[in-house]
Structure 1
Amino acid sequence: MIPVRDLSPAELAALLHFHADAGVEWLLEEEAVDRIAEFEAMRAARGAPAASVDRPAPPRPEPPRPVAAAPLPAVAIPDGQAVAEAAFAAESARSLEELRVAMEAFNGCNLKTSARCLVFAEGNPKPRVMVIGAMPNADDDRDGRPFSGRQGVLLDRMLAGIGLDRAGLLVTNVVPWRPPGNRPPSPREADICRPFVERQIALAEPERLLILGNFAARFLFRASETIHQLRGEWREVAVAGRSIPAFATLHPQDLVSAPISKRLAWQDLLAFRAGLTA
């Protein structure tokens, strides 16, 4: 084992990020405890002869003092004011780069406090097609890019199958910060993020939207059905006075979890390609 003192700052930071991704949040003891020595002492005590009645019992050891937990960092509590502030910040942006700056400065969503970085839209700022997923995963949060890692490779293959190149599209997520443990965003967190993704759509002015997965489809279609009920059909998404044709299909993560669903996704992608030429 390498002592902590021998690690460089970069190696130590990487180690801390590894523990954070693994779910380690609190240190329960300030110093290491030798559990083996404790066990040997307890076994020796059980095997010792009983003390005489006339002999006073040895004083009981003082129980260890509990280690005080570190105070929780202050987090932003989502409320109606946070939604209004998000809408104001989004509307004030006149370009995608200005919107990125506004979102980096925004502190009204508590998801930002647990994420490593903002995962903003990437690609062509004026695309014909805009691809929208749900939220960043651990790979995206680490790299600062939407659809990184294995899901990104699968998305690139899905797009290439219908003649689309990711470099010519704009790819983003409904929620720009990774929720802890990849949990679904709460309704209030989604409300706070809505002005930002809608402003991205308004500034990019795409001709078509390709929506990936259950959460994103429900969010943008304002529907309660599942992705299997929403997929495979053209619908309309109203943003900034425009009605944009939108098509939902399965998220790459759905195909990783259930490879049998690739057949359905391929049917959807063919229908989406047909709609681009209509």
Structure 2
Amino acid sequence: MLREMGLRLLPPVSVAEATGRETEAAVEMRVATLPDTRAPQALAPAASPVAAPRVLGDRPAGIESLDWEDLAQAVAGCRACGLCESRRNTVFGVGPARADWMVIGEAPGENEDLQGEPFVGQAGKLLDNMLRAAGLDRRRNVYIANVLKCRPPGNRNPEPQEVAQCEPFLRRQVALVQPRVILAMGRFAIQTLLQSQEPVGRLRGRVHRYEGVPVVVTYHPAYLLRNLQDKAKAWADLCLAMDLMEGVDA
């Protein structure tokens, strides 16, 4: 291309070689027109800022031996994952200290974060109606808790490290409540308790176990509000848990 343009390509020479054959100005011009074979730097895109990895704090020691009061305080002061930075309130649980029934959900939502109680708002009303139909009440004979005690921002799905950090609190709650049956509601609660990646539909209709306690799985009330056709399935799951309780009591 250079020859076609009438230019002659000259081999590069050093300033030392040019001394005595060309003027200093000509040498500088020749050097200035040589191609720059160095890796481009000025035109390289600026590197995107990389967020520093989140450092998890330590959970309180001895969770497995805490009583109700100390466990509640441990949850309230927990900073073992990043959810502590955006929560308004921790959501510990509600119900009697000992109960035959235990309901376990996934994580607090906006209303739960504001009130500090699990399953409030429209999903909570639906759950209360379901429990009432079974002769149950969150203040009297059923204990309700979530796997996570803090709300994920924007109600996003829980992350594995968040579940791993929080699950020991739930395990201790189960040990203190000593339920005869657990009703697990929603995919993340079910997968956490059962250590399974199976969808809810494949886990329904049979009895599982968590820490030795029988577990019946069903859909989350928030899901049922969006999928009314599955309310009958959720009622069937609740009936399975009631039948199980009758067998246990017998």
Normalising by the smaller structure, the TM-score range is: 0.7 to 0.9
The question of whether the paired residues in 2 share the 8 Å contact of 1:75 and 1:113 is answered with no
Residue 211 of structure 1 pairs with residue 184 of structure 2: yes
Q: Does 1:77 align with 2:50?
A: no
Question: Shift of the alpha carbon at 1:193?
Answer: 0.6
5 Å matches for 1:143-158?
143-158=115-130
Aligned mates of 1:140, 1:75 — CA distance in 2: 28
| 8 Å CA contact 1:132, 1:174 repeated in 2 | yes
Q: Is the 8 A contact 1:129 1:206 kept in 2?
A: yes
Partner of 2:195: 222
Alignment match, 2:101: 129
1:121-200 equivalences in 2 (<5 Å): 121-167=93-139, 168-200=141-173
Contact 2:60 2:78 survives alignment (8 Å): no
Distance (whole Å) between structure 2 residues aligned to residue 166 and residue 172 of structure 1: 10
Q: Could you say which residue in structure 2 is the equivalent of 1:248? A: 217
Tell me, in whole angstroms, the C-alpha distance in 2 between the residues paired with 1:97 and 1:87. 14
CA shift, 1:77, in A, is 2.4
1:211 Cα deviation after fit: 0.6
Q: Find the residue that maps to 1:166 and give its secondary structure.
A: coil
**Residue deviations 1:188-246, cap 9 Å, x none?**
111001111111111211111111111100110000101111122111112xxxx1111
**What secondary structure sits across from 1:165 in the alignment?**
coil
CA deviation vs aligned residue, 1:120-178 (integer Å, no higher than 9, x gap) = 11111100111100000101001111011111110001111222222221100000000
Deviation at 1:76, TM superposition (A): 5.7
Q: Measure the CA separation in 1 of the matches of 2:197 and 2:122.
A: 29
The higher radius of gyration belongs to 2
* TM-aligned CA distance change 1:186 to 1:256, over 3 Å: same
1:98 and 1:75 mapped to 2: Cα distance? 30
More helix by share: 1
Compute the TM-score of the two structures, normalised by the length of structure 1.
0.67
Contact 1:76 1:107 in 2 (8 A): no
Q: Which amino acid aligns with 2:88?
A: R
Unaligned runs of 5+ in 2: 1-51
Do the aligned partners of 2:91 and 2:116 also contact (CA within 8 Å) in 1? yes
How big is the shift at 1:105? 1.8
Q: Does 1:277 align with 2:246?
A: yes
2:230 aligned partner: 261
Verify the 8 A CA contact 1:86 1:196 in the aligned structure 2: no
Q: How far apart are the structure 2 equivalents of 1:203 and 1:100?
A: 12
Report the alpha carbon displacement of residue 87 of structure 1 after superposing the two structures with TM. 6.5
Given that 1:86 and 1:195 are in contact with CA atoms closer than 8 Å, whether structure 2 keeps it comes out as no
Q: Distance in 1 between matches of 2:54 and 2:87?
A: 13
- Bigger drift between 176-185 and 264-273 goes to 264-273
Q: How does 1:98-137 map to 2 (within 5 A)?
A: 98-137=70-109
**Change in CA separation of 1:141 and 1:89 when aligned onto 2, cut-off 3 Å:** farther
How far apart, CA to CA, are the structure 2 residues paired with 1:210 and 1:174? 13
- The CA RMSD over aligned residues, in Å, is 1.7
Q: Per the alignment, in what secondary structure is the counterpart of residue 147 of structure 1?
A: coil
SS in 2 for 1:136: coil
Q: How many residue pairs get matched?
A: 195
C-alpha distance in structure 2 between counterparts of 1:245 and 1:124, whole Å: 19
Shift of 1:88: 2.2
